Structure 1
Amino acid sequence: MSIQIYDPTLRDGNHAIGHKLSTSDIQAYCRAVDGCGLWCVEVGHGNGLGASSLQLGRATHSDREQLECARENLSQSRLGVHLIPGFAKISDIRTAVEIGVDVIRLASHCTEADLTESYFDFACGQGKLVHGVLMMTHMASAEVLLEQAAKQVKYGASAITLMDSAGSYDPRSTAEKIGLLVKHLGVPVGFHAHNNLGLAVANSLAAAQAGATILDGTMRGFGAGAGNTQLEVMCAVLERYDYETGVDLFKLCAAIDSLAEIPPVAKPTIIGTSNLISGVYGVCAGFEKHVARAAETFEIEPRDIWKELARVNAVAGQEDLIIEVANRLRKGVVA
């Protein structure tokens, strides 16, 4: 079976360094990995197009600057973008298309696919590949995810990717949810893992074994929280299990070695205790830095914030809620 490898190092990885990837970093990375066989390289602010802000973190460069840089330096791998309605506007899709983006991924919280309909209406008319994405999918059953994914397919999605945004999956839950979508959707299904429980590679393999044909991975796992599936390890494991990825593993390893000075390689990605706790509680991995700051400011334990965020079902994009939760905990308001 063939697997398309989707690389969001230059998007999800932005979370790890406060969205401060430079155009020099983007240029160096794209030049190094172009030709390694990666199906698509995704670029942008950690929360996608239009998300650079005080609340979520300001990017060093505009969406246009980042995408134009990547487009100039990718000739073999496709260029992809991530959009979340509310952060991104329809005009952001138009800009991405003008620059020459090949793959548009439209994302929503796992139970809010309805919010993507108007975005699909516009994007599907632009002659690009348009994929649907459901985030924080540990928060919904396989049946609910199928219902929500079917909506995005109805809107025009040519593929659906489930994101384990909190790094809370295990191989059993991965197989259950991916398998149900593969059985019923009729379009390719993808999987995007985080490594909070140390299971990202195992979960990605379980997704492939359940029928997923698109897998996300980032160089050295560079990404939010404990990081993503480690790209090069995932490719090696898939090769061991006789999947065809089109990736030249040794060329990819050489690319990693050539990028010693840029963040995806220079910044180590580890599973810290806070990452582990967020995975146990099932809270968005991208909250890590916000929780750490709030814990220090309000002089409370990070684990208490993670626990309360889980109790109130906080979802990606609700970074402002972290301060509110920390303040309540400090005052002893929360039981």
Structure 2
Amino acid sequence: MSRKILINDVTLRDGMHAIRHQYSKEQIAELTRVIDDSGADIIEATHGDGLGGSSIQYGFSKESEETIIRTTVENAKNAKVAVLLLPGIGVIDHLERAHEWGASVARVATHCTEADVSEQHIGKAAELGMDTVGFLMMSHRTSPENLLEEAKKMESYGAGTVYAVDSAGALTMDGVKERVSLLRNNLDQKTEVGFHGHNNLSLAVANSVVAIEEGANRIDSSLAGMGAGAGNTATEQLVAVLDRMGIDHNLDLYKTMDAAENLMKPMMERPVQIDRLSLTLGYTGVYSSFLLFAERAGKEYGVDPRDILTRIAEMGAVGGQEDWIVGVAQELAAGK
């Protein structure tokens, strides 16, 4: 394979979910240095829910948005720094400030059927000269054909890369193959294709490899899989597989292994693993960041959090609707 795969590290963004957005400035600096030294091409750093996400709704981060971004920029000597923006949570002012603070990659995320809401934000990012990415979340919740139509919208708005995002870790390899191949074969050849996986069904690395085989050249990963639910594609595992397969990339295997083992794992408040709750996320197709919310609500109301997640799936909840969880827990408790 002649293509070089670019790795977008999400330890400092998706990983925020797994630590309740409580990375300290010192931890952000240290993680940035080791991720940068390992060879990651892009380091994404914001609140788990992106720019503007620090709130009562999603949880307050330990550090300010400015501190998170500036600290990452100051410590990344080679990698570009990315920010995530979900229209409605973040606004254009947030994007402009992030750019002023040194972020050079903008990833604009919408639900997989709602690309329309990203037009202004993608356009502004492109206008600012940022590496502009469209991020289609919960991609299992629509057909491959419809995902392509949404991707074309993002491309038309100015996105130079479009991602199929498995936010729930619910896609199997065939599902990834269908979606990524359609994107690669039908978007402009200058438009790059990316994949973001979660490991709720233990398929994150396999799905990432399938995405690469179908033409994706940007892959998201995190140290030790640090991220929502059962975590993201683990960088050190992905790099080992890519090396075995002879797929070209910029990361150093030993450095990613050491960073995951010596730095990331000791920071985890709750092991990022496939347990009964994260497996339920993948099985039912629920947004991965709902895990800790459901776990807390289950304890508070004395109900099984798996029942909460199953009901949330039946209701068709999408990212940003974490406030539904308490209501569902109350209803389940009342019906006991």
Q: 1:324 aligns with which of 324, 327, 330?
A: 327
Q: Does 1:197 align with 2:201?
A: yes
**CA distance in structure 2 between the partners assigned to 1:42 and 1:269 by the alignment:** 19
Q: Percent identity, aligned pairs only?
A: 40
Q: Which residue of the partner structure matches residue 303 of structure 1? A: 306
**CA distance in structure 2 between the partners assigned to 1:167 and 1:239 by the alignment:** 24
Q: Is the 8 A contact 1:25 1:262 kept in 2?
A: no
Q: 2:4 aligns with which of 2, 5, 11?
A: 2
Q: Does 1:294 align with 2:297?
A: yes
Q: 2:59 aligns with which of 57, 60, 63?
A: 57
**CA distance in structure 2 between the partners assigned to 1:162 and 1:275 by the alignment:** 20
Q: Deviations over 1:149-185 (max 9, x none)?
A: 1000000000011111101011111111111111101
- Indicate the SS of the match to 2:81: strand
Q: Is the 8 A contact 1:11 1:48 kept in 2?
A: yes
**CA distance in structure 2 between the partners assigned to 1:69 and 1:153 by the alignment:** 31
Q: Which residue of the partner structure matches residue 109 of structure 1? A: 111
Q: Is the 8 A contact 1:174 1:206 kept in 2?
A: yes
* Shift of residue 101, structure 1, vs aligned partner: 0.7
Q: Does 1:188 align with 2:176?
A: no
- Indicate the SS of the match to 2:37: coil
AA matched with 1:21 = Y
Q: Which residue of the partner structure matches residue 153 of structure 1? A: 155
Q: Deviations over 1:120-173 (max 9, x none)?
A: 221111011111000011101101100001000000000011111101011111
Q: 1:268 aligns with which of 254, 257, 271?
A: 271
- Indicate the SS of the match to 1:60: coil
Mapping of residues 115-194 of structure 1, within 5 Å:
115-186=117-188, 187-194=191-198
Q: Is the 8 A contact 2:197 2:233 kept in 1?
A: yes
**CA distance in structure 2 between the partners assigned to 1:134 and 1:256 by the alignment:** 28
* Shift of residue 104, structure 1, vs aligned partner: 0.5
AA matched with 1:163 = V
* Shift of residue 324, structure 1, vs aligned partner: 1.5
Mapping of residues 33-44 of structure 1, within 5 Å:
33-44=35-46
Q: Is the 8 A contact 1:32 1:258 kept in 2?
A: no
Q: Is the 8 A contact 1:107 1:116 kept in 2?
A: yes
AA matched with 1:120 = I
Q: Deviations over 1:263-316 (max 9, x none)?
A: 26x863211101101110000110011111111222221121111111110001
Q: Does 1:90 align with 2:80?
A: no
**Change in 2 beyond 3 A, CA 1:314/1:3:** same
Q: Deviations over 1:27-52 (max 9, x none)?
A: 00111222322110101110011000
- Indicate the SS of the match to 2:38: coil
Q: Is the 8 A contact 2:223 2:256 kept in 1?
A: no
Q: Does 1:250 align with 2:257?
A: no
Q: Does 1:32 align with 2:44?
A: no
Q: Which residue of the partner structure matches residue 206 of structure 1? A: 210
**CA distance in structure 2 between the partners assigned to 1:14 and 1:191 by the alignment:** 19
Query: Under a length normalisation based on structure 2, what TM-score does the superposition of the two structures give?
Result: 0.95
CA RMSD in angstroms, aligned pairs only? 1.5
Name stretches of at least 5 consecutive residues in structure 2 with no aligned partner.
Answer: none
Q: Is the 8 A contact 1:146 1:180 kept in 2?
A: yes
Q: Which residue of the partner structure matches residue 219 of structure 1? A: 223
* Shift of residue 257, structure 1, vs aligned partner: 4.9
**CA distance in structure 2 between the partners assigned to 1:244 and 1:261 by the alignment:** 27
Aligned residues: 332
Q: Deviations over 1:70-101 (max 9, x none)?
A: 11101101111110011101111111110111
AA matched with 1:183 = N
**CA distance in structure 1 between the partners assigned to 2:309 and 2:34 by the alignment:** 37
* Shift of residue 328, structure 1, vs aligned partner: 2.1
**CA distance in structure 2 between the partners assigned to 1:260 and 1:306 by the alignment:** 28
**CA distance in structure 1 between the partners assigned to 2:143 and 2:242 by the alignment:** 27
